[in-house]
Amino acid sequence: EDQVTQSPEALRLQEGESSSLNCSYTVSGLRGLFWYRQDPGKGPEFLFTLYSAGEEKEKERLKATLTKKESFLHITAPKPEDSATYLCAVSATNKLIFGTGTLLAVQP
Amino acid sequence: EAQVTQNPRYLITVTGKKLTVTCSQNMNHEYMSWYRQDPGLGLRQIYYSMNVEVTDKGDVPEGYKVSRKEKRNFPLILESPSPNQTSLYFCASSFNAQPNTEAFFGQGTRLTVV
């Protein structure tokens, strides 16, 4: 069965304290792995797409990496405005399958 | 502005009273889908459509209907809503018929069934 698991469920960081979020997946025929950011009461907002193992993408303080079994979202020197829920999703067989997300809180 | 528009944003209804949540996109996207989001369960796909007149069930389709008569619109219909359908609903669209490109999400519809 296709499945996406994110960890940790919640993460609290001090401003400037770097860390990583994990997304592990089991899927037959991966067509893409996605990272989204979701603010309270809003729809998810696209961050990255990764298609093959070894691929990396960066945007400001965020960097996403992909292996054959998992993806990491690295956050370098986070700021309070990076506080949000980060969602991972995989595309397989006509569907997007989401993890339950990591709630990130960055304290000043 | 490229966007996915859902209406209404908030809805409180009673058990059994049919309702429709509208979704429209202005990006000429092939793929559209509906999700519900519940605490601890994440986003779960209800129905999706790969093109006009082509729809299929997602992971939690029971109690819902959809139609895709035009490329831009993908309404979600609850024929007889029940309290377990109280949730936050999102419509999304993406360019390809396969969802392997970024999805654009609407603002969400918070539905309460009493």
**If you average pLDDT over residues B101-113, what whole number do you get?**
94
CA distance A71 to chain B (A): 16
Q: CA nearest A93: which of B85, B102, B98?
A: B98
**If you average pLDDT over residues B87-107, what whole number do you get?**
88
Structure confidence by residue, pLDDT tens digits, B1-49:
889 999 999 999 999 999 999 999 999 999 999 999 999 898 999 999 9
Whether B85 and B63 have beta carbons less than 8 Å apart is answered as yes
Q: CA nearest A45: which of A97, A87, A91?
A: A87
| Residue B99 in this model has a pLDDT that exceeds 80 | no
- Tokens encoding A3: 């499945």
Percentage with pLDDT > 70 across chain A:
100
Residue A39 contacts B where some CB pair is shorter than 8 Å: no
Among A96, A97, A100, whose Cβ lies nearest the Cβ of B41?
A100
What is the helix, strand, coil percentage profile of chain B, to 5?
Answer: 5, 50, 45
pLDDT of residue B72: 97
Structure confidence by residue, pLDDT tens digits, A84-104:
999 999 987 778 899 999 999
Mean pLDDT of chain A: 94
**If you average pLDDT over residues B79-101, what whole number do you get?**
90
- Residues of chain B with Cβ-Cβ distance to A94 below 8 Å are 48, 50, 56, 98-99
Q: Specify the DSSP class assigned to residue B63.
A: T
Q: State how beta strands A10-14 and A102-107 pair.
A: parallel
Residue B105 contacts A where some CB pair is shorter than 8 Å: yes
**If you average pLDDT over residues A69-89, what whole number do you get?**
97
